Amino acid sequence: MDLVSYFSDIEDFRMVNKCNHLLSDILLIGLFTYLSNGEDYEDMVLFAENHPDFVREYCKLPNGVPSHDTFNRVFSSLDTSVLNKCLMDCGKAILDTLGEKQICIDGKKIKGVNPRSRGNTGLYIVNAWVSENELCIGQKKVADKSNEITAIPEIINSLDIENSVVSIDAMGCQKEIASLIMAKKGHYLLSLKSNQSELFEDVVCGFKVRSSDCFSEEWEYSSSRFETRKCRILQAKDVLLDENLSVWAGLKTLIQIESERHLDADIQKETRYYISSEEGLSADYFNELVRGHWGIENKLHWHLDVTFREDSCRARAGFSAENLSALRKLALQMIKNQKDKLSLKKRRLKAAYNTDYLKDIIQNFSCV
């Protein structure tokens, strides 16, 4: 099913007899705007007004182009489950199954919603990202006066993670989250830091006093950077006492990653630790998993910030921030799906200048 048909099937939450504009028209114009380098409600109006022939190929516009206030009201009031479901459905159209995939879960702050917020305050959205396919398959807003720990179980419960590996940073290294992943027949890779002080100290000590036959080293080169990542693994049962091991559901393997980055004349060294429910696998495998987790930062969050300028978005009323974030992620998937040699930023620019190219992006993408 194409996106035009998908959006047309969404039930309008408003009193239809009192609405001048179709919900599907509003959603489609918003999506077209993000595909063609737009950022906000005013850009949505400008896009529709300046591409009338193109827009009318997909939209009915019974009362002309909606105003920016109309876009604001609709995206502020639309239940977030609608566009979140669209993200998941589009993901299912590309993925046969999540089985044996790495699902990375991480939060991102939208700075423009509350520019004065500092540290962990402000609006955070937790995203689920399939590393192998570079695909966002779900999101969940972190509740006010809360943190990512409350949103992570909700997004895990919304996914079928059987036989998948769920990787989460140190915020998600919690006994309850490990138990939930195991209960849903998945596996976990959790970053371990001092927020789990007792386990962290035991693991650090274990790698200091025990040798490991399982070792892997990776090298990565770029124009101005050289990085090495050395991975060692130990069996959890060989390091932890039974009473400490038993409180972590399914814990089998401890991982140490020593990285060294050479950036021009600067050398940065870091040692990180992870715990996993998988066992009997190579250090190469875990080294790749750790590297794969950073894809959510480099290939999702970075593009949202740089390519889509998400942090400049000031929409904060109602559900607008979460809905617009979902629409940007959908646009990102569609642009990534386009097969040419242009960067993602250039693809958006070309779509703004050339409606035939924009039409190709839309027609080449299937939602379900």
Three state DSSP letters for 310-367: HHHCCCCCCCHHHHHHHHHHHHHHHHHHCCCCCCHHHHHHHHHHCHHHHHHHHHCCCC
Instruction: Categorize the per-residue pLDDT at 97 as very low, low, confident or very high, splitting at 50, 70 and 90.
Output: low
pLDDT of residue 116: 54
pLDDT at 223 > cutoff 90: no
To which CATH superfamily is domain 98-303 assigned? Transposase Inhibitor Protein From Tn5; Chain A, domain 1 (3.90.350.10)
Model pLDDT for residues 17-51, shown as the tens digit of each residue: 888 999 999 999 999 999 999 999 999 999 999 99
**Residue range 125-135: mean pLDDT, rounded:** 91
Q: What is the maximum span of the chain, computed from C-alpha positions, in angstroms?
A: 74
pLDDT of residue 109: 87
Instruction: Categorize the per-residue pLDDT at 266 as very low, low, confident or very high, splitting at 50, 70 and 90.
Output: confident
pLDDT of residue 173: 97
The ranges assigned to domains in the chain are: 3-78+338-363, 98-303
pLDDT of residue 78: 96
pLDDT at 118 > cutoff 80: no
**Residue range 245-257: mean pLDDT, rounded:** 97
Partners of 129 in the β-ladder: 104, 136
Instruction: Categorize the per-residue pLDDT at 16 as very low, low, confident or very high, splitting at 50, 70 and 90.
Output: confident
Residue 56's closest CA among 16, 34, 25?
A: 25
> Is there a contact between 129 and 135 (Cβ–Cβ < 8 Å)?
yes
pLDDT at 71 > cutoff 60: yes
Instruction: Categorize the per-residue pLDDT at 289 as very low, low, confident or very high, splitting at 50, 70 and 90.
Output: very high
pLDDT of residue 220: 80
CA–CA separation, 294 vs 8, rounded Å? 36
Model pLDDT for residues 314-340, shown as the tens digit of each residue: 787 889 999 999 999 999 999 999 989
The percent of residues above 90 in pLDDT, for the chain, comes to 70
Instruction: Categorize the per-residue pLDDT at 115 as very low, low, confident or very high, splitting at 50, 70 and 90.
Output: low
pTM above 0.85, yes or no: yes
What is the pLDDT of the chain when averaged over all its residues? 90
Kindly state the tokens that stand for 15. Answer: 């009193």
Kindly state the tokens that stand for 189. Answer: 């890779």
Instruction: Categorize the per-residue pLDDT at 111 as very low, low, confident or very high, splitting at 50, 70 and 90.
Output: confident
